[in-house]
């Protein structure tokens, strides 16, 4: 785990690999090729476990058989230790089976950046908050709440399209209708969105969809149908998600947003023989998915668990099965924290003390293994394990059947 309150430096690195690799491959290479290199005091796993190094944030993309991108790591070590650790990362020469090169671009002093932010904000407060001779607390609180979301929005392309901060570098994007949709998804931590802002699809959207895995997420009304139809005609859309009829993305809750995104449909399933979107077929498929989900939940609730004592390991596994949930348990099988399985990164990063194991209804990869190791967990129970490059001996893997 890592506390932002103690961060001193942020290491910015570039990575190039001669082949197609995944983020989990990059994380595995970093841990594997630096293990034992600098001794126990600068062992990366131990530094992460004790909170002196942050998690590895890799943002990569593969184009024409080559993978390039950036790696960011937060450090609470002193300047010399941070420089030594950063230099050790440049010794990485392979990612998976591919030849790779890691180069440290710069080491940012977070405290300098924070001081500059304080100065800038103080100047704004001096001008804006004292001009009437008094400060209205409610106005300031409302302004901060709104700006905390809006200031994260960036603008893309010549059209200055509203977008989440991760949209330019992410491997996948979510295309929504307008700025309000981007703001609402940002509120729930979804940062790879970009808005079309109208029915005339901008060239920036076309270019992004051609380079990235694109999911169209539109309102459940006539306007959403029209935008989706044009999007599929002019851009390479890979998946389609749609709000329930009569609902808008900008008004939906986190749970309502996660559901259609999780149940997104490959675009080729809803294209008719003329190459156009079959809107009735799209809504029919969405209704079938919803009906199947409800039936699965009903069957799960009707299951008899006579031999599964509440609070036991078996009981927790049956509780999360087919519900796309994640639970962190104590050594006495108590639930310390629970979330949607798609939010496991945040769950483990902000885990309360006393966590002993993770029970989760989703495929577990190297990334989750690394987070669990940093959180000092003893076991992970999941229906599937895939892409595990290196499993720590301290973590037991249990398959949910």
For 270-306, write each residue's pLDDT tens digit. Answer: 888 777 888 888 877 777 776 666 666 566 555 544 3
* Stretch among 11-15, 57-61, 195-199, 354-358 having the lowest mean pLDDT: 195-199
More confident residue, 138 or 213: 213
Q: Return d(Cα 42, Cα 332) in angstroms, integer.
A: 33
The class level of CATH for 4-112 reads alpha beta
Question: Residue 382: phi, psi to the nearest 5?
Answer: -155, 160
- The pLDDT value recorded for residue 384 is 92
Angle at 161 between CA 157 and CA 162, to 5 degrees: 135
Q: List alpha helices for 171-221, DSSP H.
A: 179-187, 203-211
- The pLDDT value recorded for residue 90 is 93
Question: Which tokens hold the place of 183?
Answer: 């703001």
Asked whether residue 324 carries a pLDDT value surpassing 80, the answer given is yes
- The pLDDT value recorded for residue 305 is 47
- The pLDDT value recorded for residue 1 is 39
- The pLDDT value recorded for residue 172 is 93
Q: Return d(Cα 67, Cα 15) in angstroms, integer.
A: 8
- The pLDDT value recorded for residue 126 is 72
Asked whether residue 163 carries a pLDDT value surpassing 80, the answer given is yes
Tell me: domain 136-293, CATH 3.40.1360.10, correct? Answer: yes
Asked whether residue 150 carries a pLDDT value surpassing 60, the answer given is no
More confident residue, 391 or 292: 391
Asked whether residue 351 carries a pLDDT value surpassing 70, the answer given is yes
Angle at 287 between CA 243 and CA 299, to 5 degrees: 115
What average pLDDT does the segment 69-84 reach?
Answer: 91
What average pLDDT does the segment 124-153 reach?
Answer: 60
Nearest Cα to Cα of residue 187 among 141, 132, 146: 146
More confident residue, 258 or 113: 258
Asked whether residue 23 carries a pLDDT value surpassing 60, the answer given is yes
Asked whether residue 175 carries a pLDDT value surpassing 90, the answer given is yes
- The pLDDT value recorded for residue 220 is 87
Question: Which tokens hold the place of 10?
Answer: 């942020």
What average pLDDT does the segment 14-29 reach?
Answer: 91
Provide the CATH topology of domain 313-399. Cytidine Deaminase; domain 2 (3.40.140)
**CB-CB contact of 380 with 363 (8 Å):** no
For 178, other C-beta atoms within 10 Å of its C-beta total 17
What average pLDDT does the segment 258-263 reach?
Answer: 88
- The pLDDT value recorded for residue 3 is 46
Under the banding of pLDDT at 50, 70 and 90, the label for residue 40 is confident
**CB-CB contact of 347 with 339 (8 Å):** yes
**CB-CB contact of 16 with 109 (8 Å):** no
Domain assignments of the chain as residue spans, ordered by start: 4-112, 136-293, 313-399
User: In the chain, how long is the greatest CA-to-CA distance?
Assistant: 70
Angle at 365 between CA 344 and CA 309, to 5 degrees: 60
What average pLDDT does the segment 116-120 reach?
Answer: 81
- The pLDDT value recorded for residue 46 is 87
For 381, other C-beta atoms within 10 Å of its C-beta total 23
What average pLDDT does the segment 155-170 reach?
Answer: 92
* Stretch among 250-254, 273-277, 360-364, 395-399 having the lowest mean pLDDT: 273-277
Angle at 233 between CA 229 and CA 235, to 5 degrees: 110
Is the sign of the CA dihedral 291, 293, 294, 299 positive or negative? positive
**CB-CB contact of 211 with 192 (8 Å):** no
Q: Return d(Cα 37, Cα 47) in angstroms, integer.
A: 14
Average pLDDT, the chain: 85
What average pLDDT does the segment 126-153 reach?
Answer: 59
Q: Return d(Cα 1, Cα 358) in angstroms, integer.
A: 15
pTM higher than the cut 0.85: no
- The pLDDT value recorded for residue 307 is 42
């Amino acid at each position: 785990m890592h506390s932002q309150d103690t961060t001193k430096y942020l290491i910015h690195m570039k990575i190039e690999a001669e082949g197609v690799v995944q983020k989990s491959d990059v994380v595995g290479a970093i841990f594997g090729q630096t293990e034992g290199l600098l001794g126990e005091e600068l062992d990366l796993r131990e530094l992460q476990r004790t909170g002196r190094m942050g998690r590895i944030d890799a943002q990569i993309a593969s184009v024409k058989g080559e993978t390039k991108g950036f790696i960011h790591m937060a450090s609470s070590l002193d300047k010399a230790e941070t420089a030594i650790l950063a230099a050790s990362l440049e010794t990485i020469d392979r990612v998976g089976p591919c030849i790779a090169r890691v180069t440290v671009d710069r080491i940012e002093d977070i405290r300098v950046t924070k001081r500059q932010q304080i100065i800038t904000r103080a100047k704004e407060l001096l001008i804006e908050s004292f001009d009437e001779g008094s400060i209205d607390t409610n106005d300031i609180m409302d302004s901060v709440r709104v700006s905390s979301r809006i200031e994260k929005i960036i603008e893309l392309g010549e059209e200055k399209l509203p977008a989440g901060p991760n949209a330019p570098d992410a491997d996948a994007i979510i295309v929504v209708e307008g700025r309000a949709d981007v703001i609402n998804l940002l509120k729930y931590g979804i940062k790879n969105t970009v808005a079309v802002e109208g029915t005339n699809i901008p060239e920036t959207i076309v270019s992004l969809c051609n380079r990235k895995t694109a999911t169209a997420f539109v309102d459940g009304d006539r306007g959403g149908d029209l935008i989706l139809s044009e999007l599929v005609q002019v851009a390479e859309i890979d998946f389609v998600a749609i709000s329930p009829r009569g609902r808008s993305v900008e008004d939906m809750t986190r749970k309502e947003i996660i559901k259609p995104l999780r149940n997104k449909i490959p675009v080729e399933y809803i294209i008719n023989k003329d190459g156009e979107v079959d809107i009735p077929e799209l809504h029919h498929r969405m209704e079938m998915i919803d009906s199947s989900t409800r039936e699965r939940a009903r069957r799960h609730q009707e299951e008899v668990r006579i031999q599964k004592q509440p609070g036991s390991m078996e009981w927790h596994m049956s509780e999360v099965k087919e519900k796309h949930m994640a639970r962190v348990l104590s050594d006495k099988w108590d639930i310390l924290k629970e979330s949607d399985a798609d939010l496991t990164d945040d769950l483990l990063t902000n885990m309360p003390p006393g966590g002993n194991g993770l029970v989760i209804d989703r495929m577990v990869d190297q990334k989750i293994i690394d987070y669990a190791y940093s959180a000092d967990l003893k076991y992970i129970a999941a229906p599937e394990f895939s892409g595990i490059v290196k499993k720590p001996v301290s973590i037991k893997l249990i398959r949910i059947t």
